[in-house]
Amino acid sequence: MKWVYIEDIYQYAGQEVEIRGWVYNKRSSGKVRFLLIRDGTGIIQGTIFSENKDFPLFQLFDGLTQESSLIVRGLVRTDKRAPGGYELEIKELEVIQIAEDYPITPKEHSVAFLMEHRHLWLRSQKQHAVLQVRAETVRAIRDFFNDRSFRLMDTPILTPNACEGTTTLFETSYFDQKAYLSQSGQLYNEATAAAFGKVYCFGPTFRAEKSKTRRHLIEFWMVEPEVAFATLQDIIELGQDLIMFILERVLERRRADLEILERETAPLERISKPFPQVTYDQAVKLLQERGSPLAYGDDFGAPEETKLSEIFDQPVCVTHFPAKIKAFYMQPDKDRPDLALGVDFLASEGFGEIIGGGQRIHDLNLLEQRIKEFNLPAEAFKWYTDLRRYGTFPHSGFGLGLERTVAWLCKLAHIRETIPFPRLLYRIYP
Partner RNA sequence: UCCUCGGUAGCUCAAUUGGCAGAGCGGGUGGCUGUUAACCACUAGGUUGCAGGUUCGAGUCCUGCCCGGGGAGCCA
Residue among 413, 29, 384, 57 nearest 191 (CA): 384
Chosen residue from 65, 146, 172, 288 binding RNA by CB under 7 A: 65
Q: How many CB atoms lie within 10 A of CB 100?
A: 10
Given candidates 160, 276, 303, 350, which one binds RNA under the rule CB under 7 A?
A: 303
Alpha helices in 15-155 (DSSP H): 56-63, 111-116, 118-121, 125-147
Q: Interface with RNA includes 222 (CB under 7 A)? A: yes
To RNA, the closest distance from the beta carbon of 31 in angstroms equals 4
Looking at the Cβ atoms of 253 and 314, the one nearer to RNA is: 314
For residue 89, what is the enclosing H or E element?
strand 86-97
Per CB under 7 A, the segment of 193-201, 243-251, 300-308, 331-339 that binds RNA is 300-308
Can you tell me the distance from the alpha carbon of 247 to that of 349, in angstroms, rounded to the nearest whole number? 14
Where is 88: in which H helix or E strand? strand 86-97
Nearer to RNA, 191 or 425 (CB): 425
Assess 204 for contact with RNA (CB under 7 A). no
Q: Which is nearer to RNA, 199 or 318 (CB)?
A: 318
Q: Which is nearer to RNA, 325 or 364 (CB)?
A: 325
Please give the C-alpha separations between residue 264 and each of 130, 247, 404, in angstroms, as whole numbers.
14, 13, 18
DSSP state of 416: G
Q: Identify residues 153-182 at the interface with RNA (CB under 7 A).
A: 164, 166-167
Phi/psi at 143 (5° precision): -60, -45
Round to whole Å and give the CA distance between 284 and 297: 9
User: At closest approach, how far in Å is the CB of 23 from RNA?
Assistant: 10
Quick note: the x/- pattern for RNA over 380-409, rule CB under 7 A, is -------------------xxx-xx-----
How far apart are CB 177 and RNA at their closest, in Å?
26
The single residue among 305, 340, 359, 409 that binds RNA, judged by CB under 7 A, is 305
Say whether residue 226 binds RNA (CB under 7 A): no
**Window 32 to 51, contacts with RNA (CB under 7 A):** 32, 34, 36, 45, 47, 49, 51
Cβ–Cβ contacts within 10 Å for residue 72, how many? 23
The one segment of 79-87, 127-135, 363-371, 379-387 that binds RNA by CB under 7 A: 79-87
Among positions 327-346, residues that touch RNA (CB under 7 A) are 344
Among 71, 82, 120, 208, binds RNA (CB under 7 A): 82
Applying CB under 7 A, what is the total number of residues that bind RNA?
75
Return the SS3 of 218. coil
By CB under 7 A, residue 356 contacts RNA: yes
Q: Which residues have a Cβ under 8 Å from the Cβ of 346 and sit 6 or more positions away?
A: 305, 308, 309, 315, 316, 317, 318, 352, 353, 354
Instruction: Report if residue 25 touches RNA, rule: CB under 7 A.
Output: yes
Residue 350 in contact with RNA, rule: CB under 7 A: no
Instruction: Give residues 236-295 in contact with RNA (rule: CB under 7 A).
Output: none
Which backbone phi and psi does 78 adopt, to 5 degrees? -90, 140
Instruction: Output 164 or 363, the one with its CB closest to RNA.
Output: 164
Question: If binding is defined by CB under 7 A, does position 138 make contact with RNA?
Answer: no
Q: Does 207 bind RNA (CB under 7 A)?
A: yes
Task: Provide the pairing of β-strand 16-29 with 2-3.
Answer: parallel
Instruction: Give the closest residue to 64 by CA, choosing from 32, 90, 25, 120.
Output: 25
Q: Which of 2, 212, 334, 389 binds RNA (CB under 7 A)?
A: 212
CB of 124 to RNA, least distance (A): 11
> Which range, of 96-104, 138-146, 258-266, 387-395, touches RNA by CB under 7 A?
96-104
Decide whether 298 or 364 has the Cβ nearer to RNA. Answer: 298
Measured from the CB atom, the residue of 286 and 424 that comes closer to RNA is 424
Question: DSSP character for 363?
Answer: -
Alpha carbons within 13 angstroms on the beta-carbon side of residue 195 total 9
Which stretch, 7-15, 284-292, 299-307, 329-337, contacts RNA (CB under 7 A)?
Answer: 299-307
Nearer to RNA, 232 or 354 (CB): 354
- Pick between residue 95 and residue 425 the one whose CB is nearest to RNA: 425
Tell me the H-state helices in 160-269.
186-196, 232-253, 255-260, 266-269
What residue type is assigned to position 349 of the chain? Answer: E
Give the C-alpha separation, 22 to 41, whole Å.
11
The residue (of 49 and 421) whose beta carbon lies closer to RNA is 49
Give the shortest CB-406-to-RNA separation in angstroms: 10
HEC string of 246-296? HHHHHHHHCHHHHHHCCCCCHHHHCCCCCCCEEEHHHHHHHHHHCCCCCCC
